[in-house]
Structure 1
């Protein structure tokens, strides 16, 4: 007996009746779930991608934003290409920026002329990519170190070439090797609600010193601060938490209604 041949024959009478005798009707019951819009469908994947992107954008907008370092003005602390994470919840009405903080701020009106504009489409695209840390920041965004806050007297330099804040000389261990604290002499008092900011790579930084004679004198309004740089997130080999510089720990607050101390 050829039992193998018999076992391979299909007995169509044993198959469930489709009702209309059509073979297509049987297979219609087993369509892939993706075709019917189930969890694996392209619509679901697209909606999930949109939801995740929206969540990331909202998180970056209001909580922590990646920021790409475009220049060497903050070396060695921050290097070109670093992606830092900016804490947007660091400051409030009862917690203003402090001396030694690394901040990102909008320099429009203080570091660059007001009214600098791109086309709406370019501005929107750049904004989304910059928010995700995938593009260089807007040309009006800067990262610097806070050296003086409202009421402080900042002087350069003492007889040993050091900056002084409220009469206290700073030992700035974060400076780029070989850099002097400043090649430009100045003696300024920071107005209330403003900040005096400098780069760590003083010989390669365009900062408050370069705007001494301009309107505002290089002072950054506190309300223009985007947030505090708290972490280096990328590349992985440079991951680090950034702390406030110890150089400012001995600096006293300026006396109310007066100015900090002078040369020492």
Structure 2
């Protein structure tokens, strides 16, 4: 006699099939939220440490290329950190760098005197929620290691290795009037500075707003002759992301002597 198989789970004794209902175990959103937050913070840390970071422009030293002033809405720029892992900054690049100690005269720490609050600020800095507590500056590279930079030729242009630079981004500079106010007149032009040979491994930087920028010229009397070690360069400024009216790529022309 043929053996009758027992009815499958979920079927009626008469053999008719009924749908099997399986309860799905759903994880609580509140249990997953801490994991999502940790992953997001970790990704933010990795992104801003090795790939790119957003910086706020606080001053007028790079006008009109970059907008910034006290009490106004400064540009926020994306600074990517990958390019200089495979090569050095070049003349024309707009870079963000950590100012050497001699550049820290006007720097004021943003950290709290409260130990606990300061600890949270440092933690927030690691993941990009709080600005780093260091004197980060933005300028344009004008000359690199081994080159000699000075100003000016008879037209008021910066010279690198004796050749004048083409700098279309300069809109604001000190007066320079041939025959009236130059580097040879009793009242010298504010553009003028003596020759400086950039040490190997360093760069000479200047603001696009030449009449209002405490750049390498301002620090020429320090131990580095105003130059910046390449190791201090954080990355290359690539684009403006805020405010929306200022969106756009940053121009870094390959300036060279004519």
Q: TM-score, normalised by structure 2?
A: 0.72
Give the aligned length: 212
Corresponding residue of 1:259: none
**Match of residue 86 from structure 1:** 79
Aligned partner of 2:121 in structure 1 is 125
Query: 1:173 deviation in Å?
Result: 1.4
Distance 1:177 1:202, change over 3 A: closer
Q: State the Cα distance separating 1:108 from its structure 2 match.
A: 2.8
Cα distance in 2 for partners of 1:163, 1:140 equals: 27
Contact 1:103/1:143, CA 8 A, preserved across alignment: yes
Matching residue of 2:166 = 171
Residue 141 of structure 1, aligned match among 133, 136, 141: 136
Asked if the contact 2:77/2:241 (under 8 Å) is kept, the reply is yes
User: Structure 1 residue 68 and structure 2 residue 56: aligned?
Assistant: yes
Tell me the alpha carbon deviations over residues 209-236 of structure 1, each in whole angstroms, 9 at most, x when there is no partner. Answer: 1111122111100111111111112222
Structure 1 residues 161, 216: closer, same or farther in 2, change over 3 A? Answer: same
SS for the counterpart of 2:90 is coil
Partners of 2:138 and 2:206 in 1: CA distance: 9
1:98 aligns to 2:90 (yes or no): yes
Large movers: runs of 4+ above 4 Å: 116-121, 134-137, 178-182
Deviation at 1:111, TM superposition (A): 2.1
Q: Provide the rounded CA distance (Å) in 2 between the counterparts of 1:243 and 1:229.
A: 9
Q: Is the 8 A contact 1:67 1:83 kept in 2?
A: yes
- Structure 1 CA distance, aligned partners of 2:93 and 2:227? 15
Counterpart check, 1:236 vs 2:244: yes
Structure 1 length-normalised TM: 0.70
* 1:193 shift after superposition: 0.6
Q: CA deviation at 1:53?
A: 2.2
Unaligned runs of 5+ in 2: 1-22, 69-73, 177-189
CA RMSD of aligned residues (A): 2.9
Unaligned runs of 5+ in 1: 1-29, 253-264
Query: Residues 48 and 180 (structure 1 numbering): CA distance in 2 closer, same or farther, change over 3 Å?
Result: farther
Q: 1:154: how far off?
A: 0.6
**By percentage of residues, which structure has more helix?**
1
Alpha-carbon shift at residue 123 of structure 1 (Å) = 7.2
Q: CA deviation at 1:124?
A: 6.1
